[in-house]
Amino acid sequence: MKRQYAVIGLGRFGGSICRALSEQGMEVLGIDMDEDRVNEYSSIATHTVIADSTDEGVLKNLGIRNFEHVIVAIGENLQSSILTTLILKDMGVSKITVKAQNDYHERVLLKIGADRIIHPERDMGIRIAHQVVSKNVLDYLELSDEYSIVEMAAGEKMSGKSLQEMNIRAKYGCNVVAVKRSHEVIVSPHADQKVEEGDVLIVIGGEKDISRLEKDLMA
């Protein structure tokens, strides 16, 4: 039977993934070469091991290829991050997610076959910037290079108007995929759906289009 998750590198990022997965009842193996880090997570993760992930033999002995998903959360040491990813790929790990330091690091990781690259600091910076620019933006998530999804609180300007009246799709090229109103969620709302102040709109669209919408309608 496949085991669940392994997290390599228990710094702030890897550690928080390890903690969150454990809290969700997942089986997690935490690996770090630093004994103190490993001790910190020994009572949180299912198993913890002090090991250098660039040592192929060590990863083999840990049976790393049997894990469903391995997360490489080594930050600063690019060489270790790349070598670890390469070894995991060679061993046939089915899903590998890697934290990247910069765009060059990302390109190398993609070339050697990482399945998903994450830039936690950059992504969080973008999310916070959107929240800071408009007090109505509650959350922001980048879906791809082109599309994002944003959660925005409807203000006075939107109150009492239908989606059609605001012309969101035609004017901004964005789609409202749901409207949250207290505990109710209206999924795929019709064009005649009226919006009330305090509703939360889940909007999908291009980065620039969403920004225009935020500026015009959310002020």
CB contact at 8 A, 98 and 72: yes
Q: Which stretch binds ligand ATP (CB under 6 A): 49-57, 59-67, 133-141, 194-202?
A: 49-57
> Is there binding between residue 37 and ligand ATP (CB under 6 A)?
yes
The C-alpha angle 114, 115, 116, rounded to 5 degrees, equals 100
Q: Which stretch binds ligand ATP (CB under 6 A): 11-19, 155-163, 166-174, 175-183?
A: 11-19
> Is there binding between residue 32 and ligand ATP (CB under 6 A)?
yes
Output the residue with the shortest Cβ distance to ligand ATP.
75
Q: Map the footprint of ligand ATP across residues 66-95, applying CB under 6 A.
A: 73-77, 80
- What DSSP letter does each residue of 75-118 carry, written as one string? -S-HHHHHHHHHHHHHHT-S-EEEE-SSHHHHHHHHHTT-SEEE
Q: Which stretch binds ligand ATP (CB under 6 A): 48-56, 128-136, 146-154, 192-200?
A: 48-56
> Is there binding between residue 30 and ligand ATP (CB under 6 A)?
no
> β-pairing, 67-72 with 3-8?
parallel
Q: In what order do the strands lie in the sheet with 96-99?
A: 47-50, 28-32, 3-8, 67-72, 96-99, 116-118
Among 7, 9, 130, 202, binds ligand ATP (CB under 6 A): 9
Query: What's the min distance (Å) between Cβ of 94 and ligand ATP?
Result: 21
Torsion angle of the four alpha carbons 101, 105, 110, 113, in this order, in degrees rounded to the nearest 10: -90
Query: What's the min distance (Å) between Cβ of 12 and ligand ATP?
Result: 4
Contacts of 30 (CB under 8 A, 6+ apart): 6, 7, 10, 14, 15, 18, 38, 41, 44, 45, 47, 48, 49
> Is there binding between residue 123 and ligand ATP (CB under 6 A)?
no
CB contact at 8 A, 69 and 116: no
> Is there binding between residue 18 and ligand ATP (CB under 6 A)?
no
> Is there binding between residue 140 and ligand ATP (CB under 6 A)?
no
> Is there binding between residue 13 and ligand ATP (CB under 6 A)?
yes
> Is there binding between residue 203 and ligand ATP (CB under 6 A)?
no
Q: Which residues bind ligand ATP (CB under 6 A)?
A: 8-14, 31-34, 37, 52-54, 73-77, 80
